[in-house]
Structure 1
Amino acid sequence: MDLIVRPTPELNGEIGALSSKNYTTRYLLVAALAEGTSTVYYPAHSEDSDAMRRCIQDLGAVLEEDEEKIVITGFGGRPRDVKELNVGNAGAVLRFLMAIASLCPDVTFVNSYPDSLGKRPHSDLIVALEGMGVQIEHQDGKLPIRIMGGKPQGGKISVSGEVSSQYLSALLFLAPLLEEDSEITVLGDLKSKVVIGQTLEVLEQAGIQIDASSDYSRFRVPGRQAYQAKNYTVQGDYPGSAAILAAAAVTKSDVKVHRLMEKSKQGERAIVDVLQMMDVPLKHQDGTVHVTGNGRLRPVEFDGDAATDAVLAMVAAAVFADGTSRFYNVENLRYKECDRITDYLNELKKAGAKVEEGRSEIIVHGRPGGLEGGATINAHFDHRVIMALTVVGLRCKEPLLIKDAHHVAKSYPQFFDHLQALGASVEWVK
């Protein structure tokens, strides 16, 4: 479905942040890898987390869910022998489960999104798993991918961190279950290190012992460990909330977003710091971010590697800053649901934004008076692009039509409901 975003000068109200997608998928996985019953409170509901629910059930976990929680009886280190898994368009779920599926004799991950996830590379993880004795058939590193495992070997393991930290996370979930002790070495410059911190945090909560070097270049993982059945509570999601906060920043606003922990390990918590650097009137205390925006923003320079999933929202805010902003060290944005540098900037230009790209940077020449708008936008089936372009649409003189905006459900199904509750003029086009 398509969506019309109309000029909206003011936003007012309060919402609760949705639950974190990243933490939900990790908690679901470690619960499935435990023997016994775990409970996950306030799990996220999105296409990604639903893909993890579906796939761990296919692998043998038993799930019971109500409005507050999900109770999971895990399969431990012995997933069911399945022939096929479908993760939809969820790249992190695919990569985590490629590692776990190596414990199965023969599993094929199908390609149900050829124009999105089907285009994304997974070669670095494939190379690492092949080095552990797993046979893999693939299409130049892309889906469909057939994994013929059963008995992956621990020991000396190497994986590149140049494209994504998800490959390393996948191996960290798998290695404790192997017979051998493992030493994982990261090759190259590890992207999104802060997300590895989240993975290690969840693994520790699940009773797994891992010794990590301070720079996350080496990990010692004892083998023959067992995941423990535990209770987990999912915190609020900063990546999705980044777009809500950016929307409040570029309008005249009085907006509160609850359930955002001040000391969260989510790298995207940096959206709060960046908006403060841009002189947005903002307070963050007792788990609530309160924005009283006036639409006036200063330009900013920011290293986006630690806050990958908030960069597009930051850029959307910078579009209206009084000066030139630069977001650097963001090349990994090119390897997401779409090329989030080239594709996103091309759509911003359609709306009238003045933006430039480098291989690993985005430069934004702010237009504090607003954009012309009046364009039809191709969001490239990417939830982050959809949310960020919606923020821009609020400050356009003429409406934006965003194609296929329903793909926002990949991470934030309630996004447009929440914006409407705050007063945004957004409308579905059937």
Structure 2
Amino acid sequence: MSTSTVAPIAARITPSGKLSGTVTPPGSKSYSARAVLAAGLAPGASRIRRIANSRNVRALIAAVATLGAEISYEDNDLVVVGPSELRDKQTIDVGNSGIVLRLLLGATAHLHHTTFVTTYADSLGRRSNIEMLDALRQLGVDADWQERDGRLPISTYGVGIHGGSTSIESRKSSQFLSGLLYLGGRLDSALEIHVPDELKAPAMVRTTQQVLATAGVETSASPDGLHYQVPSGTAFAPAEFSVGSDPASTAALLALAAAMDSEVSIRHTGLTELDGVVDYVRSVGATVTVGPDEIRVQGNPAALKPLDFDGSLSPDSVLPLAALSAHADGTSVFRNIEHIRYKECDRISDFRKELRKTGIESEETADSLVIHGGPSGATEHAVIDCHFDHAIVLAFTLIGARSKHGLVIENSGVVGQTYPDFFRDAAELGIDLNLSSEPVVTAGA
């Protein structure tokens, strides 16, 4: 069994037995990215404890360095010394991360000229950012882009920026709103932000507000989460940040343990953005005990029950929980999830496309995913296209481990976007897998 941390072309997952052991998920990608940006915008030295090592976070570290921050490491901590003035007229590679792009679109909108690019034309390059660009235009920021709907590459021009009021459509993503909150900490005048439709993933906006508060930036929100204010006179200041456990990675481990005969301990450094997830896993049929620094899971595959889930509570948990529900005897519905169509891939339609290869039945609406599960799970061997999305890799590792014939996940190294050591940890728990740098050859190829 190979468990190299080098990004593999293919992960071969075969039916696995009992899982046991202790595993520690990485630090929160979401919190780490926000903390890195806040530190890079503050003139002076900030420290981020237990920084995540995901590709998204590394992309944001590189971005703040491009903008003038000095970066160093002390043990497991990242030290960021922000410049007194951000460098203008820079080109920033945002990798394959929507949160990196959208936070930076807001945070740098006051600069005279910034250009954003990606080498992932078929993933992040396909995602629209027109909502953010429209909101910035209301504040006097000009922009141009090469493709339709505000797709990358994008250039912004902030010479005419002003404070005041703007609106941001957030049905597709809360990341746009988070980016504008960062901008509020860079303006001399007050900023008001209105959400005219509905806010998806409010837990992630609360994470943004928590990070900004730690960095000295004051924000306020209306009780319904549709109106936000950043007062004049607030500004970024050096701070110390402590990163909790990554919610997507933790949810994937919870689902994996619940789907198998298991006795697994998941060490954590704080649980955020997991609203409803632990209760879901427990209600589906696993025994889950949550302690101050550890979650204990005892999986009982024979006891799995179908159960619906409101995906707006924890969007990054939807696919691992959907993979778990595929092994419950009955139908489960994941609602309020249209926004996950606009991630690294369409996590509804693209996920279903891969499910069909394995023999698992499903349906979809504009904002829901319906899984028709059964104890046998995947009945067909399949080669899975992960669509450059770590969430697909996490979900199909579970499906492969419970499958009849196993499966292969192509380009599975993209799991490093969130959880670089996922395959090492899964193998240590007892998942039977092999990582190969050889291309997958299928019949007829």
TM-score band w.r.t. shorter chain: over 0.9
Can you give the 5+ residue segments of structure 2 that lack an aligned partner in the other structure?
Answer: 1-8, 438-445
Supply the AA of the counterpart residue of 1:284: V
SS in 2 for 1:338: coil
Question: Could you tell me which residue of structure 2 aligns to residue 127 of structure 1?
Answer: 134
Mapped contact 2:258–2:285 kept (Cα < 8 A) = no
Deviation at 1:179, TM superposition (A): 1.8
For the residues of structure 2 that align with 1:406 and 1:21, how far apart are their CA atoms?
16
SS in 2 for 1:48: helix
SS in 1 for 2:285: coil
- Matched positions, count: 426
Mapped contact 1:260–1:289 kept (Cα < 8 A) = no
Mapped contact 2:333–2:368 kept (Cα < 8 A) = yes
Mapped contact 1:300–1:326 kept (Cα < 8 A) = yes
For the residues of structure 1 that align with 2:310 and 2:40, how far apart are their CA atoms?
35
Deviation at 1:108, TM superposition (A): 1.3
Mapped contact 1:341–1:357 kept (Cα < 8 A) = yes
Question: Could you tell me which residue of structure 2 aligns to residue 268 of structure 1?
Answer: 274
For the residues of structure 1 that align with 2:275 and 2:70, how far apart are their CA atoms?
33
Question: Could you tell me which residue of structure 2 aligns to residue 229 of structure 1?
Answer: 238
For the residues of structure 2 that align with 1:11 and 1:151, how far apart are their CA atoms?
58
Query: Does residue 164 in structure 1 map to residue 173 in structure 2?
Result: yes
Supply the AA of the counterpart residue of 1:13: G
For the residues of structure 2 that align with 1:373 and 1:400, how far apart are their CA atoms?
8
Supply the AA of the counterpart residue of 2:61: R
Give structure 1 regions of 4+ aligned residues with deviation exceeding 4 angstroms. none
Mapped contact 1:210–1:221 kept (Cα < 8 A) = yes
The within-5 A match list for 1:34-45 is 34-45=42-53
Mapped contact 1:134–1:152 kept (Cα < 8 A) = yes
Supply the AA of the counterpart residue of 1:97: L
Mapped contact 1:177–1:223 kept (Cα < 8 A) = no
* 1:356-391 CA-partner distances (Å, limit 9, x unpaired): 111111111111133213111111110001110111
Deviation at 1:406, TM superposition (A): 0.6
- The correspondence for 1:294, drawn from 297, 300, 316, is 300
CA RMSD, Structure 1 to Structure 2 (Å): 1.2
For the residues of structure 1 that align with 2:240 and 2:273, how far apart are their CA atoms?
24
Mapped contact 2:42–2:83 kept (Cα < 8 A) = yes
Can you give the 5+ residue segments of structure 1 that lack an aligned partner in the other structure?
Answer: none
- When structure 1 is superposed on structure 2, of 144-153 and 414-423 the one drifting more is 144-153
Query: Does residue 154 in structure 1 map to residue 163 in structure 2?
Result: yes
SS in 1 for 2:96: coil
For the residues of structure 2 that align with 1:75 and 1:172, how far apart are their CA atoms?
20
Question: Could you tell me which residue of structure 2 aligns to residue 2 of structure 1?
Answer: 10
SS in 1 for 2:276: helix
The within-5 A match list for 1:14-413 is 14-75=22-83, 78-138=85-145, 139-140=147-148, 141-259=150-268, 261=270, 264=271, 266-295=272-301, 296-413=303-420
* 1:48-81 CA-partner distances (Å, limit 9, x unpaired): 00000000000011111133101111125x3111
Supply the AA of the counterpart residue of 1:209: E
Mapped contact 1:58–1:80 kept (Cα < 8 A) = yes
Deviation at 1:156, TM superposition (A): 1.2
For the residues of structure 2 that align with 1:282 and 1:395, how far apart are their CA atoms?
20
* 1:192-215 CA-partner distances (Å, limit 9, x unpaired): 111111111111111111121111
Supply the AA of the counterpart residue of 1:272: V
For the residues of structure 2 that align with 1:68 and 1:370, how far apart are their CA atoms?
40
For the residues of structure 2 that align with 1:173 and 1:257, how far apart are their CA atoms?
33
- When structure 1 is superposed on structure 2, of 20-29 and 226-235 the one drifting more is 226-235
Deviation at 1:95, TM superposition (A): 0.5
For the residues of structure 2 that align with 1:292 and 1:118, how far apart are their CA atoms?
41
For the residues of structure 1 that align with 2:233 and 2:89, how far apart are their CA atoms?
23
Supply the AA of the counterpart residue of 2:182: F
Deviation at 1:111, TM superposition (A): 3.0
Mapped contact 2:26–2:245 kept (Cα < 8 A) = yes
SS in 1 for 2:379: strand
For the residues of structure 1 that align with 2:93 and 2:231, how far apart are their CA atoms?
31
* 1:276-311 CA-partner distances (Å, limit 9, x unpaired): 111211111122111111213111011111210000
For the residues of structure 2 that align with 1:260 and 1:373, how far apart are their CA atoms?
38
Mapped contact 1:329–1:360 kept (Cα < 8 A) = yes
Deviation at 1:260, TM superposition (A): 5.1
Deviation at 1:269, TM superposition (A): 4.5
For the residues of structure 1 that align with 2:239 and 2:144, how far apart are their CA atoms?
36
Supply the AA of the counterpart residue of 1:109: F
Calculate percent identity across the aligned residue pairs.
Answer: 35
Deviation at 1:270, TM superposition (A): 2.7
* 1:176-204 CA-partner distances (Å, limit 9, x unpaired): 22121121111101111111111111111
Supply the AA of the counterpart residue of 1:27: A
* 1:326-345 CA-partner distances (Å, limit 9, x unpaired): 11110011101110000001
TM-score by length of 1: 0.97
For the residues of structure 2 that align with 1:148 and 1:357, how far apart are their CA atoms?
40
SS in 1 for 2:110: coil
SS in 2 for 1:85: strand
For the residues of structure 1 that align with 2:63 and 2:153, how far apart are their CA atoms?
16
- When structure 1 is superposed on structure 2, of 362-371 and 386-395 the one drifting more is 362-371
